[in-house]
């Protein structure tokens, strides 16, 4: 069932109960992480609701799931540096099966885990550092208090550390909390090498301003609302990357692979995108709807079927571009150089072509009366 997510978690459970005909009490993400805050739910998430029973992957039966997780989904209490945390064994095991925590709790007593008089498992680490790690294992979201520096400080968690530490990679304990210095190429490459290839990389809102990210494999990475201004992204592979509302002003993306890229409402004013490939042979179309592309140089780019609806391309250079079947409805093309472009079957309804150059077009342009 498709359910709109709004209001509070209680509202979601109420709607889900009505839709599914059950008394929903718990919500899990697709990997079995318990959702306890509606803010942790992302667009297009697949969620599972239940009446209180443990999460079971619908792709497997209960027995197969138990074999995958060490057959334990029972609740545990951990005593971390004197502070108590309650969670399930599956939370510690499922999301990062190669982490130290997963190895410690996958099989009962396999590590001879010691317990305090209350039966809580003892872990000699700082609880301030443990809490964001546990929340990450529960929800896949990193929530870290000011002053917490995860990099190189909590090696107990193995591969978990490589994922959660990145957002604070450039932060040092000596730096003030308001320091938002850009992430360098060296730091970013270090993170990429330490992260499993199948992991979802979320760089939402991070500051890469001025960084050299050229020729890197950045496929499927979430750069939503990130600061990529004045970055060098030439020849980078950004296939299916999410650049929604990202700041790409003044950046260089020449010859970048932008197949299926999402750049809705992004700001790429003054950027260079010469010779880019937006055309995905599989049919997945790049989406630049509402993007600010004032003054961009996109000469020679392949943009078959691209969505540029209501985008701003004032003073842009689109010479010799392939815009066959492109959606340009409501697009501002004022003073845009479209000479040599292939605009066959392109939708220009309602677009502003005042002062645009169309000489030497590969196909004749048939404008409707609504073109301004």
Side-chain-side CA neighbours of 338 within 13 Å: the count stands at 29
Q: Fold for 75-146, please state it.
A: Potassium Channel Kv1.1; Chain A (3.30.710)
User: What is the number of helices (H) and of strands (E) in the chain?
Assistant: 7, 6
175-219 pLDDT, tens digit each: 444 446 788 898 888 878 777 666 667 888 899 999 999 999 999
144-166 pLDDT, tens digit each: 666 655 544 443 344 344 444 44
Whole-angstrom distance, CA of residue 336 vs CA of residue 341: 11
- Residues of the chain by 3-state class (helix, strand, coil), percent to 5: 20, 15, 65
**Which pLDDT score, from 0 to 100, does residue 144 have?**
62
Q: What is the CA radius of gyration of the chain?
A: 25
Residue 345's closest CA among 370, 324, 369? 324
Locate the domains of the chain by residue range.
9-50, 75-146, 182-371
CATH of domain 182-371: 2.160.20
323 vs 50, which has greater pLDDT?
A: 323
**Which pLDDT score, from 0 to 100, does residue 168 have?**
41
160's tokens? 């978990």
202's tokens? 């979320």
């Amino acid at each position: 069932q498709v359910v709109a997510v709004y209001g509070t978690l209680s509202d979601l459970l109420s709607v889900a109960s009505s839709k599914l005909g059950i008394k929903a009490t718990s919500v899990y993400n697709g990997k079995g992480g318990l959702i306890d805050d509606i803010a942790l739910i992302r667009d297009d998430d697949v969620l599972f609701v239940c009446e209180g029973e443990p999460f079971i992957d619908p792709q497997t039966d209960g027995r197969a799931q138990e074999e995958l997780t060490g057959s334990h989904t029972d609740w545990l209490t951990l005593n971390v540096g004197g502070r108590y945390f309650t969670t399930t064994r599956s939370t510690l095991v499922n999301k990062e099966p190669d982490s130290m925590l997963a190895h410690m709790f996958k099989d009962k007593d396999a590590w001879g885990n010691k317990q305090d008089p209350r039966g809580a498992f003892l872990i000699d680490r700082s609880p301030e550092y443990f809490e964001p790690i546990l929340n990450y294992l529960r929800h896949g979201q990193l929530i870290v208090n000011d002053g917490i520096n995860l990099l190189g400080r909590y090696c107990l968690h193995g591969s978990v550390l490589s994922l959660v530490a990145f957002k604070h990679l450039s932060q040092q304990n000596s730096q003030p909390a308001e320091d938002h210095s850009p992430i360098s190429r060296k730091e970013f490459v270090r993170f990429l090498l330490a992260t499993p290839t199948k992991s979802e990389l979320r760089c939402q809102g991070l500051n890469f301003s001025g960084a050299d990210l050229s020729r890197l494999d950045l496929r499927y990475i979430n750069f939503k609302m990130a600061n990529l201004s004045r970055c060098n992204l030439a020849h980078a592979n950004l296939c299916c990357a999410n650049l929604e509302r990202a700041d790409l002003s003044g950046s260089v993306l020449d010859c970048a692979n932008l197949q299926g890229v999402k750049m809705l409402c992004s700001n790429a004013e003054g950027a260079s995108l010469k010779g880019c490939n937006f055309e995905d042979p599989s049919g997945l179309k790049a989406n630049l709807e509402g993007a600010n592309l004032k003054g961009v140089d996109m000469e020679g780019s392949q943009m078959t079927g691209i969505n540029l609806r209501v985008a701003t391309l004032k003073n842009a250079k689109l010479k010799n571009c392939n815009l066959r079947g492109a959606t340009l409805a409501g697009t501002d093309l004022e003073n845009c150089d479209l000479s040599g472009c292939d605009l066959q079957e392109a939708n220009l309804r309602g677009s502003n072509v005042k002062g645009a150059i169309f000489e030497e077009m590969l196909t004749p342009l048939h404008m409707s009366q609504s073109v301004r």
